[in-house]
Amino acid sequence: MLLSVVVPCMNEEASIPMLVERLIAATDAWRGDTEIVLVDDGSTDDTWSAICAQCAEHSAIRGLKLSMNRGHQVALTAGLMAAKGERIFMLDADLQDPPELLSDMMAMMDRGYDVVYGRRSERKGESWFKKVTAHGFYRVLNRLSDVPIPNDTGDFRLVTRRALDAVLQMPERARFIRGMFAWAGFRQIGIEYIRDPRVAGETKYPLSKMIRFAFDAMASFSIKPLQIATRMAFLTLIVAALMGVYVFGSLILYNTVAGWASTVLIISFFSGIQLLTLGIMGEYLGRLYVEAKGRPLFFVDEQAGDAVEPVVEKIANHQ
């Protein structure tokens, strides 16, 4: 049985030698063959040369270089499409997710689970801001999402071929892989682990990317924000009706000219609600537009290592 390890890498030249060393050690106990697919997601440093150097040294390693930076989720998808294994293990290049957890995950899979995901019980070496926003993100997402997406889990997981094939059948461009696995179903279980600090380099998720990622996740897994807009519209109608009673009342009772304060208040309240509603609709419309264009998710620039499957052909089938 073949085990595939898939790692998206962007500007990780310093992590790669350590990553490979620990992966080779962690997969040593595996009874079958192993392939390690390293995806270079448009790095601007020497990540690709680092990957090629590892391919030359170890026959199990394969490299895939995307034509430009497409983001973590697309890079991971590219690696998953190239993976040929019966079991597929995915993790980040920065070793925040310990490869040594593989043996525990394998044991769970032997008991019949299709998806064994890592659940972060603690995050080490990350800013309080990242911890707080990440904590909030998973909880809000879960309230909105129609399928339960496990809290505090990343893409660090071991999956079976049939679970992966289910996810690869989902053609959407806004990819939120952990949610897609949750949606696929099958038997799933989590293993708790402590998330280590990065071994090298900086995070590739600045605030702007985190916000984009959160929007993608929520808009891909829920239409509740659209319904919130409708609910708010009802709420404002009620408020407007009450205001109407008040305005008429004061007109009859006091014969006053309406004050500017209430006018300003009403105008700002309603324009706020309108803009928010428009914004939410715009988010969905934009996603619809991107999906409707139906462009390929990525292009492969170069490949390294032997036994490389024609990935492009697979993508063509996928669409």
**Interface residues toward ligand UDP, by CB under 6 A:** 8-10, 12, 41, 69, 71-72, 75, 92-94, 96, 203-205
Binding partner of residue 9 among Mg ion, ligand UDP, none, CB cut-off 5 to 8 Å per kind: ligand UDP
Q: Among residue numbers 195 through 254, which ones bind Mg ion (CB under 5 A)?
A: none
CB-CB contact of 108 with 68 (8 Å): no
Return all residues near 280 (Cβ < 8 A) that are at least 6 apart. Answer: 225, 226, 228, 229
Binding partner of residue 71 among ligand UDP, Mg ion, none, CB cut-off 5 to 8 Å per kind: ligand UDP
Query: Minimum CB separation from ligand UDP for residue 163, in Å?
Result: 21
CB-CB contact of 67 with 42 (8 Å): yes
CB nearer ligand UDP, residue 43 or residue 145: 43
Residue 259 in tokens: 């004050």
Maximum Cα–Cα distance for the chain, whole Å? 90
In this structure, how many other beta carbons lie within 10 angstroms of the beta carbon of residue 105? 23
CB-CB contact of 225 with 144 (8 Å): yes
Distance CA 137, CA 131 (A): 10
Q: Among residue numbers 89 through 128, which ones bind Mg ion (CB under 5 A)?
A: 92, 94, 96
Number of residues that bind Mg ion (CB under 5 A): 3
Binding partner of residue 61 among ligand UDP, Mg ion, none, CB cut-off 5 to 8 Å per kind: none
Query: Minimum CB separation from ligand UDP for residue 19, in Å?
Result: 9
Binding partner of residue 8 among Mg ion, ligand UDP, none, CB cut-off 5 to 8 Å per kind: ligand UDP
CB nearer ligand UDP, residue 200 or residue 276: 200
Query: Minimum CB separation from ligand UDP for residue 304, in Å?
Result: 17
Which candidate, 225, 178, 193, places its Cα nearest to that of 76? 178
Phi, psi (deg, nearest 5) at residue 188: -130, 150
Q: Is residue 147 within a helix (H) or strand (E), and if so which, with residue range?
A: none
CB nearer ligand UDP, residue 30 or residue 205: 205
CB-CB contact of 56 with 132 (8 Å): no
15 lies in the site for Mg ion, by CB under 5 A: no
CB nearer ligand UDP, residue 92 or residue 152: 92
Q: Residue with structure tokens 């063959």?
A: 33
CB nearer ligand UDP, residue 207 or residue 237: 207
Binding partner of residue 5 among ligand UDP, Mg ion, none, CB cut-off 5 to 8 Å per kind: none
